[in-house]
Amino acid sequence: MADRLLTFSIFRYNPITPEIPPRMQEYQLEETMGMSLFIALNRLREELDPSLMFDFVCRAAICGSCAMLINGRPGLACKTLTQDMPDRITVMPLPVFKLVGDLSVDTGVWFRHLNVRTEAWIHTDKVFNPEAIEERMDNPTAQAIYDAERCIECGCCIGACATANMRADFMGAAFLNRIARFMIDPRDERPMAQYFDVVGTDEGVFGCIGLMACDDLCPMEIPLQGQLAFVRRKMAQMALKCARCK
Ligand code: FES
């Protein structure tokens, strides 16, 4: 591998010091074998600038903390190899979420709101019996639930979404994927009308303009447009049913 000198142009702003305006700051670093953007950022922080802020926990595309805009596209720093990037790499924080500082954003508040608003737990009147044998579920249903559960709440789909970037009230793909997860689950006894109240609106499933960036950029490759289509179909059926009742 030929040695390359990489140039990083990184967004800098700390809300604690608003008198220093947002700016792009450049750093240079020699590329090493197998270097990820996460490793590069750590080296920049350790060797050149200890004030650089960014988030990480797992370093293995599991926790979702290191999502950022990498050359204009949302992605995980720990999953992005510099060998796949040009010599010049621009890094910015994910849009839509509240900026903590530099590349660090607060996705926690957004996802907590999602979990509260979607009531992200199994709704059932059945009383839990610890002695009972587990109920069986057919494999395709279990697989469909597992697919939706693979979301690591990184926020890439939200940062990539044109509608979410324009409208603060738009729920976005992660939200609709969570709803799909509970709609699929036969243990959840919520009536469709209850889901309709949450996502059957312009803020929800009918606000998507179908640009599909969420689907293209999900680091876990969750078929988000498929999930959205599933929820939209259910909500449209529900709306038709209600119209006929009138
Ligand atoms: S550090 Fe956990 S996903 Fe990148």
pLDDT of residue 237: 87
Across the strands, what pairs with 23?
Answer: 12
pLDDT of residue 183: 95
Find the 156 Cα to ligand 1 centroid distance in Å: 12
pLDDT of residue 94: 98
pLDDT of residue 239: 80
Contacts of 186 (CB under 8 A, 6+ apart): 137, 141
Q: Which atom of ligand 1 is nearest to the CA of 152?
A: 3
5-105: CATH superfamily: Beta-grasp domain (3.10.20.30)
What are the backbone dihedrals phi and psi of residue 10, each rounded to the nearest 5 degrees, phi first?
-120, 135
The one-digit pLDDT tens for each residue of the chain (246 residues) are 557 999 999 999 999 999 999 999 999 999 999 999 999 999 999 999 999 999 999 999 999 999 999 999 999 999 999 999 999 999 999 999 999 999 999 999 999 998 999 999 999 999 989 999 988 999 999 999 999 999 999 999 999 999 999 998 999 999 999 999 999 999 999 999 999 988 988 999 999 998 999 999 999 999 999 999 999 999 988 888 776 666
Question: What lines the ligand 1 site, CB under 6 Å?
Answer: 56-59, 61-66, 76, 78
CA distance 120 to 125: 16
CB 89 within 8 A of CB 71: yes
CA distance 5 to 113: 42
Reported as type and span, the H/E element at residue 162 is helix 162-166
pLDDT of residue 5: 97
Angle formed by the axes of helices 173-184 and 139-149, nearest 10°: 160
Find the 213 Cα to ligand 1 centroid distance in Å: 20
Q: Which atom of ligand 1 is nearest to the CA of 78?
A: 4
Find the 59 Cα to ligand 1 centroid distance in Å: 4
Task: State the DSSP code for 86.
Answer: -
Assigned CATH class of 107-245:
mainly alpha
Find the 40 Cα to ligand 1 centroid distance in Å: 14
Q: Which of 65, 68, 91, 220 to mutate to test the pocket of ligand 1 (most atoms within 8 A of CB)?
A: 65
Find the 124 Cα to ligand 1 centroid distance in Å: 34
> What are the structural domain ranges in the chain?
5-105, 107-245
Contacts of 150 (CB under 8 A, 6+ apart): 220, 222
Q: How far apart are the first and last CA of the chain?
A: 69
CA distance 10 to 99: 14
pLDDT of residue 24: 98
